[in-house]
Amino acid sequence: MIRLRAFRAINDNESCHKFVDGHMRVLKNFGITMITSANIDWFEDPNTYVIVAESTDDGRVLGGARVQVTDGTYPLPIEKAVNELDDSIHEVVKEAIPSGVAELCGLWNSREIAGMGIGSVFLTRTAVAIAPQLNIKSIYALCAAYTVQMAQKAGFRIATFLGNNGTFYYPKDDLIATAMILHDIHDLSTASPDERSEIEWLRASPNQVKTEDGRRGKFDIFYELSMNL
């Protein structure tokens, strides 16, 4: 069984290390060695929250994502990523801080669970589901081409006010990333009906075992999403 567990980064240093080790292995497989979301400064950031996909058998971390909230102390990864191409990102984020703003970043999954939808569907859904616990209103994400559609289903929209109508060459000159934003985490009217229903279900019952249907068939996920903040 896969467990999707959410926690504050400063409360579980060991799992943070497992997260980064797995993420870096995946990035190296794609020939990517420099990426802003792969640093470890966030280990000590009380405003960073981590979701890990881990094996309930042996505790191995098989995938994960971060939701990094900013109060202006630590820049969001998207700010560092697109700064040279569009430095207006800093002012845009600064204006959103009083209402609460975060970024969904560092999303990855291992080859072992590839094709199950963990790294695209379930981690994105889970990040949006835990957002009300974090006292935020909006979430940014910098998406690879293959995750844009899933982000849209979860309610994100392309941030056309950044870069070239929301797109940038990142993290390499031959890869295009799309800046996206979920403007209001409480108003899921931009999400697809099915996805909105799943998110609302997880918000209502953050700790549960649920049988999910992925591309490799049905499997159980143990959701452990209540952080008691």
pLDDT, tens digit, 9 for 90 and up, residues 135-158: 999 999 999 888 899 999 999 999
Strand-pair partners of 220 = 211
Q: What is the pLDDT of residues 26-64, one digit of tens each?
A: 776 656 655 555 567 889 999 999 999 999 988 889 999
Query: Residue 23 — very low, low, confident or very high, per pLDDT cuts 50/70/90?
Result: confident
Q: For residues 37 and 14, give the distance between their C-alpha atoms in angstroms, rounded to a whole number.
A: 18
Looking at the domain assignment, is residue 229 inside a domain?
A: no
Query: Residue 104 — very low, low, confident or very high, per pLDDT cuts 50/70/90?
Result: very high
The pair of structure tokens assigned to 212 is 């999910």
Looking at the domain assignment, is residue 218 inside a domain?
A: yes
Domain of 180, CATH number, reads 3.40.630.30
Looking at the domain assignment, is residue 105 inside a domain?
A: yes
Helix (H, G, I), strand (E, B) or coil at 134: helix
| The dihedral sign for the CA sequence 127, 40, 9, 51 | positive
Please count the structural domains in the chain: 1
Q: For residues 24 and 219, give the distance between their C-alpha atoms in angstroms, rounded to a whole number.
A: 26
Query: What is the domain extent for residue 20?
Result: 2-224
Looking at the domain assignment, is residue 113 inside a domain?
A: yes
Q: Which of 208, 217, 151 is nearest to 179 (CA)?
A: 151
Single pTM value for the model: 0.91
Helix (H, G, I), strand (E, B) or coil at 192: coil
Q: At what angle do helices 123-130 and 193-204 cross, to 10 degrees?
A: 60
Looking at the domain assignment, is residue 167 inside a domain?
A: yes
